[in-house]
A and B are shown apart, each in its own frame.
Chain A
Amino acid sequence: MNIEQLDFYTQAILSLAALVGLTSFLMLGQGRLLRLIFVFAVQGFLLALTTAAAAYSLSNYHLYISAALTLVLKVILIPWMLRRQVLKMNMHRDVEALSNNTAVMLGGASLMLFSYYILHPIVQTSSLVMLNALAVSLSVMLLGMLLMISHRQAVAHVVGFMSIENGLFFAAIVATHGMPMVVELGVAFDVLVAAVLFGIFFLHIRTSIDSLDVDLLNRLSEVDK
């Protein structure tokens, strides 16, 4: 089918999906923490937008709440917190040298293809938009993991983690018109707690190794040196 035949909502969703995927790529290639956080916030904003759109088109009101939640948590609270951390640690100047960045990018691209390939069997049971949405969200997830694997800063890890969450949200909203309310709330609560815990952990890690480089957390290894 052709994109013209789709209704406005779907078109919006598709373009948003594309944008979300793009933000993930931007994050993946990003060496500077502050920009990373900013892009993450943008992703959150796009997510909130999607949620709102879904809520509007489906006139499914509890989605507004989760949109609001997303806005508060992922666009304001968490980025702010991370930003504070970065500034406090004054890591905002130094650039993390990413090992063979291009390879990572190519990997990301291939991941996107991969997720399309994986989810293809589903397509005959559902509309193309579903497939796109799911594929994008899956690839956002995978890209998030790739981000965590390729970055050494704890902050980057948190961002990756949260972007994985974003991917999940996107899937939940687009593919299934929002999970049941309880689940939504529960997930949001978990995210909140997680955010708080991250804050605490930055403290602890700093006090123990006064840096946020996770490669220095390698005491508990069993490779005999």
Chain B
Amino acid sequence: MILVLAYCAVLLSFASCLPPLLMQGRHNLPALGRLRMPGSLEEQRAQILTRQAVFGLLGLSGLFAALAGVSVLVSGEVMTGRIGLGLPWLPWQVRFDNLSGLFFLIIGIAISAVSLYGPGYVSAYEESKHPFAVLSLFSGLFIAGMLLVLLADDAFFFMIAWELMSVASYFLVAFQHDNPANRRAAFLYLLMAEIGALAIILAFGVLASFADGFTFDALRGAGLSNAWASIAFALALLGFGMKAGLVPVHVWLPEAHPVAPSHISALMSGVMLKVALYGLIRFCFDLIGEVHWQWGLVLMIVGTVSALGGILYAMMQTNLKRMLAYSSVENVGIIVMVLGLSMIFMAQNQPQLGALGFLAALFHAFNHALFKNLLFLGAGMIHHQTHELNIDQMGGLIKRMPKTGMLFLIGCMSISSLPLFNGFVSEWLAFQTALQVDVIDNGVLRSLIPVAAAALALTAALAAACFVNVFGILFLGLPRSRHADKAQEIADPGMLAGPALLAGLCFLFGIFPGLMLGLINHVAEQLLGASLPDGSSLSWLHLAPVSAEQASYSAPLVLVGALIAAGICFRYLRRSPATVMRRAETWDCGFGGLTPRMQYSASAFMMPFRRIFARVWLIDEQVKKDRQGAMDQDVAAIHYALQIQDHSWPRLYQPIERAVNRTARLVGRIQTGNIRTYLGYSFVTLIVMLWIIS
């Protein structure tokens, strides 16, 4: 029954490819073309209808996915099935358990929001340049691919679904291919996806070579030696990490995510990365079976590096969507780090604490899906209204787009993990996990884990600074460009409804995290065979992950308290009519004559960080002064150019590229074009072969 829901979700997402194709067919087939009544107005209506049909289907599929996810999480049973496709001796195996269910829920929510948002957003694309058919076709395939990955229960099916996801999203990245940057991004993305997929295949291959067959059940049964298990783990980490965008193999991510249409970037950044994490979890915690603390340590370190690197790179971006993409790197880093913690605890046979870390990681994954979608959709709205993504060109939008501003603010507050919002809860849980280090015997871990925790704190603080900057520069102050000045509030209600849904959920799960955590606890039970420590409580009011003595957090009470405090002083202070607020021109220490160009820009805001963490980036900062006057004494104009680059380009990617090209050039030498040389090859080969076998 529940499986049927899941299938429905997949089928609906496939179905969402069809309407525009049918329309196309109607255009192309002359027979039907004659039936088509003339008039561009009809065309308009037809297009709108198709759009609504597509996104309606997507929305349904999202709904079904969420339903399936919730119901499996509640019922806590495992469903298996098979689809009659695939290899002759191995049809596609399907398995739908709590872990899949959780990610189904994530995807479902995301898709529903996007499908509300989509129709308004894509109306901006003109049919001739960017055919809607392509967009909807590949979006449908992309979503179906993600859902199938979650359902797959054998390596072959898994890889097919995985690659379907990658390729479809590649076409989406290349959707606006008339822009060279997009083409480059798409190529890079596909290349990395391919390499990652190969690593994953190899990882499966390692397991499969010890198991009989490559269904997941067989792989679970594979008895690996530690060395081989570690190799498999390393390969899986490389493969899935590439997709999830861990530093240093993250470079494709900030290139690819921003150039896709915003609702797609939202899905890629909010959901696809989660699917990669799902793969990692499935592989490490489920397939390999018992984990080693060394792996946990690796995960923790990699995660910490990605978290710090991600946010630090994010701070320096001026392109809004690039910035969001980098912050995805940061959040994925946090999740992986906490997973590493949980792995360490598992390996130190503290299953309950392992479960706690697992809980924190999954909950953060869930939250990140929510607020990152929200933020990307918000970025889409801003771009939709201002046709501009450069933060430094914005300003004052909160007066022009109040609703958008509100939603975006909620997103920023959740992602910078402020209390009362969901982001905070998951980070709080992460800290609680880290603080349980005392139970571990191993001295190295006991001293490393707190450091990681402190790094996490630094990350959170940096994130807060980053998003203060973003929100402040985007929405506050004076408009810095004509676009920003002319901006209007979103007209289309759907485009507001989608983000509003997500924002509401962010707040809801910030206040009542217990609801979600209860569900995720089932996942831990089923996957790790361990749940939260006894004595812990996940009630709606209090949240005491380890025990009430150790730590507790009650968001509802906090909310109530905040309301009381604010209410009191609000009421009290505004009672006398003599003190109503008076509007006047900005004081500005009496300088006056305030112009937009006087404000702090994003790069100015980040200047202190740029100086403090200077080594993290490759900074190319140039100040050029046009001097004039007899002795060049006075400066006519100052040109300031700032170029900030990611370290992993020159360190990692360009060397590889050069190496390949050099080898290719060497190999090219054998094609001399002279037939006698060729004959020589044949001759020598013959001689050598004969000599070998004799």
Q: Name A residues whose Cβ lies closer than 8 Å to a Cβ of B.
A: 114, 117-118, 121, 142, 145-146, 148-150, 152, 157, 214-215, 217-224
Contact = CB atoms under 8 A, between A and B. Distances in A.
Interface residues of B, number: 18
A224 B665 CA distance: 8
B673 A117 contact: no
Given A114-B687, A149-B683, A222 B674 contact: no
Contacts of A149: 676, 679-680, 683
B694 A221 contact: no
Given A149-B683, A223-B668, A214 B675 contact: yes
13 contacts: A114-B687, A118-B690, A121-B694, A150-B676, A215-B674, A217-B674, A218-B674, A221-B673, A222-B673, A223-B669, A223-B672, A224-B665, A224-B668
Nearest to A152: B676
A223 B676 contact: no
Given A214-B675, A223-B672, 4 more contacts: A145-B682, A222-B668, A223-B671, A223-B673
Contacts of A215: 674, 676
A220 B674 CA distance: 9
A220 B673 contact: yes
Interface in B646-694: 665, 668-669, 671-676, 679-680, 682-683, 686-687, 690-691, 694
A224 B676 CA distance: 19
A212 B4 CA distance: 74
* Among B675, B680, B683, B687, residue most surrounded by chain A Cβ atoms (within 10 Å): B675
A123 to B, nearest CB: 13
Interface of B: 665, 668-669, 671-676, 679-680, 682-683, 686-687, 690-691, 694
Given A223-B669, A224-B665, A145 B694 contact: no
Given A114-B687, A121-B694, A145-B683, A221 B672 contact: yes
A145 B665 contact: no
A215 B674 CA distance: 6
Contacts of A150: 676
Contacts of A117: 694
A174 B672 CA distance: 39
B683 A221 contact: no
Contacts of B679: 145, 148-149
A113 to B, nearest CB: 12
A220 to B, nearest CB: 5
A150 B675 CA distance: 11
A157 B676 CA distance: 10
Contact of A146 (B675, B683, B691): B683
B675 A217 contact: yes
B55 to A, nearest CB: 50
Contact of A221 (B671, B686, B691): B671
Contacts of B680: 149
A118 B687 CA distance: 10
Contacts of A217: 673-675
Contacts of B683: 142, 145-146, 149
A223 B667 CA distance: 9
Nearest to B669: A223
A17 to B, nearest CB: 20
